Structure 1
Amino acid sequence: MSEYLKRGKAIARPLAVTIKRVNEIVRVWINYFRIGMMKQFMEEFGQWLRHKIRVIVMKQWKKPKTINRNLCYLNRKNRNGIGHEEIFKVVNSRLGWYRRSGMNVVNFIISKELLENRIKDGAGLLNPLSGYLVKAGI
């Protein structure tokens, strides 16, 4: 999974293609490991996966101006109530991509629900924990 989501390769693909392939891989893992007790692993894996997708999304936006515009748009659209100054701090931070996409502002704006439901081309990110719980019958 980490090989498929490497930043250099993942940003070159459209986001919908990346998410569809990630969902396929996650479904295969769930079907293969559904007998074992993997609830904790699936929860942690889901958090890591959403973080990586946020990194890819921000990296695809490339420039700070574009990142600022898109985060402000998503903030207004989803009514998150995060101030423009806080978004500006994240955008112009000198931290790396992974650290910036792990900040609370980005986590609230590009939320779990947004990743699962509202990606264009009908590709919503599968939540590994809920998929595992359904398959395992828990």
Structure 2
Amino acid sequence: MKSKIKEYTSRSNGWGNEYRIDKLKRYIRGWINYFKIADMKTLLKQTDEWMRRRLRMVYWKQWKRIRTKFKMLKQFGINRWKAWEFANTRKSYWRISNSPILNRSLDNKTLNSLGFLFFAEYYEQVCVN
């Protein structure tokens, strides 16, 4: 499962976000519908945390330039000084994806509003019905 998610959330595959969202949705729905009998809530929550981090990493890489990172962080509610400081960091994409500022700007609610579907949420929907 993780290798397939890695493939769909790769930073260098050149896919647009709409295509990425569509591929992930299809994969998650198929996986949950196939394995919905199993009790795997904790596994799905851990996988969701990891997948959200990968998605944050993808967005950070897409923002490429310091000016764009600064603008996007401000747009997501980070104050001006912190956004500028953070946009100029030289840390790796993976390390930044777990930072408090990126977690606050691209939080779970924001990722859901962008159209992403996550395992635990979909599992709850399918198993309740």
TM-score normalized by structure 2?
A: 0.89
| Separation (CA, whole Å) in 1 of partners of 2:63 and 2:39 | 38
CA contact (8 A) 1:90 1:100 kept: no
| Separation (CA, whole Å) in 2 of partners of 1:89 and 1:43 | 31
The residue aligned with 2:101 is 105
The residue aligned with 1:126 is 117
Identify the match of residue 63 of structure 1 among 54, 57, 65. 65
| Separation (CA, whole Å) in 2 of partners of 1:74 and 1:83 | 9
1:43 CA displacement: 0.5
**1:31 alignment partner AA:** N
Per-residue displacement from partner, 1:16-66 (whole Å, max 9, x unpaired)? Answer: 110111111111111111111110011011111111111111111111111
Superposed CA RMSD: 1.5
Q: Percent identity?
A: 26
| Regions of 4+ moved over 4 Å | none
| Separation (CA, whole Å) in 1 of partners of 2:25 and 2:99 | 25
The residue aligned with 1:136 is 127
1:6 CA displacement: 1.8
Query: Which one is further off, 99-108 or 128-137?
Result: 128-137
1:83 CA displacement: 2.6
Provide structure 2 residue ranges, at least 5 long, that are not aligned to the other structure. none
| Separation (CA, whole Å) in 2 of partners of 1:87 and 1:44 | 28
1:38 aligns with 2:45: no
| Separation (CA, whole Å) in 2 of partners of 1:35 and 1:69 | 45
**2:117 alignment partner AA:** L
1:93 CA displacement: 1.5
TM-score normalized by structure 1?
A: 0.83
Per-residue displacement from partner, 1:63-110 (whole Å, max 9, x unpaired)? Answer: 1111111111121xxxxxx43222223221221011112111111111
1:14 aligns with 2:5: no
CA contact (8 A) 1:15 1:57 kept: no
1:3 aligns with 2:12: no
